[in-house]
């Protein structure tokens, strides 16, 4: 019984690996380039001027050093904006954002704005897929003026991080990691009692499309946990 199941798993590995490497040239890029612009302070409110930089900084944090993503340097973007004399009040305009993104060969551009009116602050956070020129992430928050703003910013960044990782397709780097992880699992399946590894293999198979760094990380953590458990029992 186990031999048949093992053979089926190996066949799945072969088929899925072949499919992965048959991705288009777009998916074969080593990483996806992301630009994150400063947010536009629509009302030019002095009390909340810091949000223009604080929100994009918070969004950058969970994406830093994540395999498969390359954040284009903010200083390079700033220099380009100054060189082209782009009005910073227009950085929430889709056409302006697209032109900036294309100048840097970016795959995703993140931009936004906030409006302070009376006792409310409205924050709009968007991410556009440059290739299809379509907004794929759109997070709107309507906050009280006296809230713990930094906690709210962190919440926006966390929600954004989850959504952005869903829309960015597999890259060559991630595909290699998937194949490597599948090989590690295949090598560990040596007896019919190792049911947990087989379950992990099935889960990885189900998550192949789309593969994102966070999903792969979760799988690898489960694999490591299973290995640690096996070592303790041996």
All structural domains of the chain, each given as residue ranges with its CATH number in brackets, are 27-167 (3.40.50.10070), 170-229 (no CATH)
| Per-residue model confidence (pLDDT) at position 226 | 65
Return all residues near 23 (Cβ < 8 A) that are at least 6 apart. 170, 175
Tell me phi and psi for residue 50, to 5 degrees: -65, -25
Given this model, what pLDDT does residue 118 score?
Answer: 85
pLDDT for position 69: 76
Task: Determine the pLDDT at residue 63.
Answer: 75
- Sequence-ordered list of residues with C-beta below 8 angstroms from that of 110, at least 6 positions apart, any chain: 34, 35, 36, 37, 56, 59, 125, 126, 127, 137, 160, 164
For residue 130, which of 7, 226, 234, 37 has the smallest C-alpha distance? 37
**Nearest Cα to Cα of residue 124 among 97, 85, 87, 100:** 97
How confident is the model at residue 233, as a pLDDT? 65
Q: Is 44 left (phi over 0), alpha (psi -120 to 50) or beta?
A: left
Residue partners of 58: CB distance under 8 A and separation at least 6: 153, 154, 156, 157
The predicted structure's pLDDT at residue 32: 82
Sign of CA dihedral 106, 102, 29, 200: positive
234 residues of the chain, pLDDT tens digit each: 445 545 454 545 554 454 444 444 454 555 788 999 999 999 999 999 999 999 999 998 877 655 667 889 999 999 999 999 999 999 999 999 999 999 999 999 999 999 999 899 999 999 999 989 999 999 999 999 999 998 999 899 888 888 887 776 545 555 555 566 656 655 655 554 455 555 555 555 554 444 455 555 666 666 667 667 666 766
What distance in Å separates the CA atoms of residue 130 and residue 100, rounded to the nearest whole number?
10
Question: pTM for the full model?
Answer: 0.62
Residue 203 phi/psi, 5-degree rounding, is -65, -40
Q: How far apart are CA 213 and CA 201, in angstroms?
A: 17
Rounded Cα–Cα distance for residues 174 and 67 (Å)? 7
Contact between 55 and 139 under an 8 Å Cβ cutoff? The reply is no
* Residues 6 or more apart in contact with residue 69 via CB below 8 angstroms: 31, 32, 34, 63, 168, 213
Confidence (pLDDT) at 193: 47
Q: Are 51 and 39 in contact (CB under 8 A)?
A: yes
């Amino acid at each position: 019984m186990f031999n048949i199941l093992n053979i089926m798993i190996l066949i799945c590995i072969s088929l899925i690996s072949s499919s992965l490497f048959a991705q288009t040239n777009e998916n074969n890029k080593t990483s996806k380039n992301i630009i994150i612009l400063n947010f536009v302070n629509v009302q030019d409110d002095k009390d909340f001027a810091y949000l223009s930089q604080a929100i994009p900084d918070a969004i950058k944090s969970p994406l830093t050093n994540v395999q498969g993503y390359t954040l284009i340097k903010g200083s390079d973007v700033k220099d380009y904006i100054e060189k082209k004399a782009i009005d910073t009040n227009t950085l929430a305009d889709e056409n302006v954002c697209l032109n900036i993104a294309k100048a840097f060969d970016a795959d995703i551009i993140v931009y936004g704005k906030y409006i302070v009116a009376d006792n409310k602050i409205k924050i709009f956070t968007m991410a556009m897929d440059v290739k299809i020129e379509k907004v794929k992430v759109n997070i709107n928050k309507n906050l009280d003026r006296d809230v713990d703003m930094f906690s709210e910013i962190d919440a926006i960044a966390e929600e954004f991080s989850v959504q952005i990782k869903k829309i960015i397709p597999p890259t060559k780097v991630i595909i290699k990691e998937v194949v490597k992880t599948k090989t590690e699992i295949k090598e560990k399946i040596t007896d019919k009692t190792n049911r947990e590894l087989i379950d992990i293999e099935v889960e990885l198979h189900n998550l192949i499309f789309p593969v994102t760094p966070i999903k792969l990380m979760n799988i690898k953590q489960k694999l490591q946990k299973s290995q640690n458990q096996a070592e303790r029992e041996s």
